[in-house]
Amino acid sequence: MKFYITTPIYYVNDEPHLGHAYTTIAADVLTRYHRLKGDDIFFLVGADEHGLKIQQKAQKEGKNPQRFCDEIAAKFQFLWNNLNISNNIFIRTTNLNHKSTVQKVLQTLFDKKLIYKGEYEGLYCIGCEEYKTKIQLINEKCPLHQKEPELIKEECYFFKLSNFQKKIIEKIQNNEFKIEPIERKNEILSFLKKEKLEDLAISRKNVKWGIPLPFDKSHTTYVWVDAFCSYLTGINWQGDCKKIPNFWPPNLQLMAKDILRVHATIWPALLLALNIPLPNKLFIHGFFTINGQKMSKTLGNIILPIDLINKFGVDATRYLLLSQFPFGQDGDISIEKLEKKYNSDLVNGLGNLVSRVLTLAEHNFLSFSDNNDIKKDIQKTLEKYEKTMKNIQLFETLKIIWNLISFYDKYMEEKKPWKIKNKPEQLNKILSSLLEGIYHLAVMVLPFMPETSKKIFTQLGVKFKNQSIEQIKFKIKKDENLFPRKK
Ligand code: MSP
């Protein structure tokens, strides 16, 4: 089965931070899970490189905007490589193909009379690259950026967003266009039913750093319209609405709640206008704060993803971020909490279990006996694992895996295999149970911690190719502990 998954394409006005890493790691976990299932997967990440925010930042640094974007986009790519993100493409909105396709889209909409010229007066938040309504402001400021938006009055082109409101409500309601978790779906439906969607200003006259409108070169394209097209240009769409690449539509688009509204209004409206099928599902996760506060430079509480990688390693960073709180809810993280979790779950949990079992098995294991006592527990865990992974409950999935680890710890304490070295058959049976468990643990943690999983397979002497456990011949070779203990 084909599976197309996307993260948002992130703005390159700033370096990648932990929020970006959070979404991207989650998407990579799901990607690797589907790959393991044998799905034909395409995983898109990318960079959103146009707009006033970037134009101004580049100017401030005295750089040409393209060079500025190249530098920051390279930092994103570097981080994704470091975090072992297995994306198929890193789409950039400054790519030539992307730009010409966006122009084709605009021309199509213009020809369909879905774009018209008018005048816009509104409050514009540069931080969000979005016009704001009064209701969205708190004390006249954008609540996200703590800045008063600018009053802008200018000639511009509008997209007939209002034409599509009814259709969007219908598609969300009947789950043709799924929005999860359910609270997010309800929230967006109640917004769509209460407020009338205004036509959308899709061009700017005084923003030079953008894609010129094909029918009026004195305007550039609104960044969100530009950015949404990347979900299509990233799979190599050339702008012909009758020739949509095979991977379309996305099975899953991941993002945080900050950009749900645009993804549930402008995005489906553009697709409906072009007669292109809507994505199957948007999954919205929460925001995290650091020690109860929003991450910000002024508060000085920024944790860079690279700091975590240096401190804990790549796999542990991936694990630690997703094991803090349920994906889909808001939550808080702190270095102290991450350190504690590293020690309890990775060093003393998975690492210690694998090390103890393999130390014993290296000298005492004879051959795999399928007749062991914990098959049922593994089966139950595997079922729960599949269910939670399918529901994108990544935090719950990890809990389920770590429950199995505690179960094995208890099993060992109970059976005390180190005391029966003189009863090789009995010992072999226990070791078989434990090795089978460790094999399945390695499979289950693979999407989350691919390198750790590989290390476990190597120590088990098994080449992992989705074999059934009966066919596996273990050739144990204990190596160093999976996770070094931190002082
Ligand atoms: N460029 C647009 C997206 C265009 S998609 C067609 C954009 N970029 S962004 O750089 O601001 O990224 C927003 C996304 O970053 C969020 O939706 C989320 O995925 C991630 N996060 C940023 N900060 C976050 C937290 N503090 N917590 C969790 N995720 C966060 O919007």
**pLDDT per position as a tens digit, 345-371:** 999 999 999 999 999 999 999 888 877
Task: Specify whether 356 is located in the same domain as 263.
Answer: no
Q: What is the mean pLDDT of residues 242-249?
A: 97
Task: Specify whether 9 is located in the same domain as 154.
Answer: yes
Task: Specify whether 15 is located in the same domain as 90.
Answer: yes
Q: What is the pLDDT of residue 299?
A: 74
302 touches ligand 1 (CB under 6 Å):
no
Task: Specify whether 39 is located in the same domain as 174.
Answer: yes
CA angle 114, 120, 126 (to 5 degrees): 105
| 312 occurs within a structural domain | no
Q: What is the mean pLDDT of residues 19-25?
A: 96
Task: Specify whether 281 is located in the same domain as 341.
Answer: no
455 touches ligand 1 (CB under 6 Å):
no
Give the separation between CA 305 and CA 312, rounded to whole angstroms.
11
> CA-based Rg of the chain, rounded to a whole angstrom?
26
Q: What is the pLDDT of residue 337?
A: 95
| 325 occurs within a structural domain | no
| 315 occurs within a structural domain | no
* Atom 25 (ligand 1) nearest CA: 19
**pLDDT per position as a tens digit, 281-293:** 999 999 988 888 8
Distinct helix (H) and strand (E) counts, the chain? 17, 15
Give the separation between CA 9 and CA 20, rounded to whole angstroms.
10
Q: What is the pLDDT of residue 303?
A: 87
Residue 208: how many CA atoms within 13 Å on its side-chain side?
7
Task: Specify whether 278 is located in the same domain as 345.
Answer: no
**Domain final residue pick, 271, 286, 301:** 286
* Structure confidence at residue 466 as a pLDDT band (50, 70, 90): low
Task: Specify whether 378 is located in the same domain as 274.
Answer: no
Q: What is the pLDDT of residue 483?
A: 97
**pLDDT per position as a tens digit, 296-333:** 777 778 889 999 999 999 999 999 999 999 999 999 99
Residue 90 has pLDDT above 80, yes or no: yes
Task: Specify whether 208 is located in the same domain as 347.
Answer: no
Q: What is the mean pLDDT of residues 8-24?
A: 95
| 230 occurs within a structural domain | yes
Q: What is the pLDDT of residue 11?
A: 96
Q: What is the mean pLDDT of residues 475-479?
A: 91
Which of 259, 289, 392 best tests ligand 1's pocket when mutated (most atoms within 8 Å of CB)? 259
| 307 occurs within a structural domain | no
Print the domain residue range for 417: 336-460
Q: What is the pLDDT of residue 158?
A: 97
**pLDDT per position as a tens digit, 99-151:** 999 999 999 999 999 999 999 888 988 888 778 888 889 988 998 888 899 99
For residue 286, give the ligand 1 atom closest to its CA: 28
Here the CATH number for the domain that contains residue 70 is: 3.40.50.620
Any idea of the CA torsion for 156, 161, 162, 163, to the nearest 10 degrees? 120
Q: What is the mean pLDDT of residues 379-397?
A: 97
Task: Specify whether 18 is located in the same domain as 127.
Answer: yes
Q: What is the pLDDT of residue 468?
A: 67
Q: What is the pTM of this model?
A: 0.94
Tell me what the pLDDT averaged over the chain comes to.
Answer: 94
| 7 occurs within a structural domain | yes
Q: β-strands 89-92, 130-132: how paired? A: unpaired
| 418 occurs within a structural domain | yes
| 172 occurs within a structural domain | yes
State how many domains the chain has: 2
Task: Specify whether 33 is located in the same domain as 168.
Answer: yes
Give the separation between CA 45 and CA 89, rounded to whole angstroms.
6
For residue 228, give the ligand 1 atom closest to its CA: 6
22 touches ligand 1 (CB under 6 Å):
yes
Determine contact, residues 251/283, Cβ cutoff 8 Å: no
Task: Specify whether 234 is located in the same domain as 158.
Answer: yes
- 150-159 sheet: strands from edge to edge: 130-132, 115-125, 150-159, 200-201
Here the CATH number for the domain that contains residue 358 is: 1.10.730.10
Percent of the chain with pLDDT over 70: 98
Q: What is the pLDDT of residue 367?
A: 86
Q: Which residues are catalytic?
A: 17, 20, 125, 128, 142, 145, 294, 297
Task: Specify whether 272 is located in the same domain as 385.
Answer: no
Q: What is the pLDDT of residue 487?
A: 66
